Structure 1
Amino acid sequence: MQPRDSSRAAEHPEPSREGPVRTCVGCRGRASRSVLVRVAVVDGRAVLDTAKTLPGRGAWLHPGDDCIELALRRRTIGRALRAPDVDLSALTVR
């Protein structure tokens, strides 16, 4: 197992022991489900699931442009959703 990058640790602290813990597909940091944003597939497009209730697989990201940019660059969202041809244009950082 690789050691944690200290710069990421300061930006995204370790999750509390309460509640479900998920892994961000951008930075690979772990955080509470309540802190992360869920991405799901609706009609072939990746959309932010703000209510965290859409059916199907979800990918989790820290809110903010850094993790979204990392996930888009690494192409991890399509893999996490098991939909390699999903349209990611709704997630593009402006």
Structure 2
Amino acid sequence: MVHSLQQLRRGACDTKLTRTPGRKRARLVVGSFQQEGGDGARMKLHQQRTCIGCRTSTSRNDLIRWVLTEQAPLPAVLLDVGASASGRGAWTHGIEKCVRQAVQRRAFSRAFKSAVNADTVLEQFTAYEDRPVSGRPSGKHDESGSEI
């Protein structure tokens, strides 16, 4: 599909124009854009993450984040419900199948570049699943923080 330069500059198509340092010509890069609003709305690039369990790439709103914390005796893996804790993170879908697959494949150890206790990961996920649905995050990471 051929797009005009004006369409690329406006963001009206699924490709974007990027110029890398040292290159004389601009390069077209295919992005994952989603329509944000009604007619004439700008396109927005959503952040993509890969589930370490099933290895599929999806929006970060559909995944949960695990973070490695440096505690005194051994590093521990914690479920980062708000997806805002500092430290190295890994992402999985919020379903047991993906978490078990990641544990079985030792994907947490690879992602964190450190030994991980699989039992702790499964215990934390079980506690996360047992929480009431109202206690789970809404999945909206693009909000400003105002609930009004």
TM-score by length of 2: 0.49
**Alignment gaps of 5+ in structure 2:** 1-31, 35-44, 127-148
**Alignment gaps of 5+ in structure 1:** 1-14
C-alpha contact 1:57 1:81 (8 A) present in aligned 2: yes
Q: Distance in 1 between matches of 2:33 and 2:89?
A: 21
| 1:41-65 residue CA offsets vs partner (Å, 9 max, x unmatched) | 1221111100111111100000010
C-alpha contact 1:40 1:54 (8 A) present in aligned 2: yes
Is structure 2 residue 87 aligned with structure 1 residue 60?
no
Is structure 2 residue 55 aligned with structure 1 residue 28?
yes
Greater relative contact order, per chain length (Cα 8 Å cut-off, separation 6+): 1
Corresponding residue for residue 76 of structure 2: 45
TM-score by length of 1: 0.74
Q: Distance in 2 between matches of 1:57 and 1:16?
A: 27
Is structure 2 residue 120 aligned with structure 1 residue 75?
no
Q: Distance in 2 between matches of 1:24 and 1:87?
A: 19
Report % sequence identity: 32
Give 1 or 2 for the bigger CA radius of gyration: 2
Distance 1:87 1:16, change over 3 A: farther
Tell me the amino acid that sits aligned with residue 72 of structure 1.
V
Q: Distance in 1 between matches of 2:33 and 2:81?
A: 21
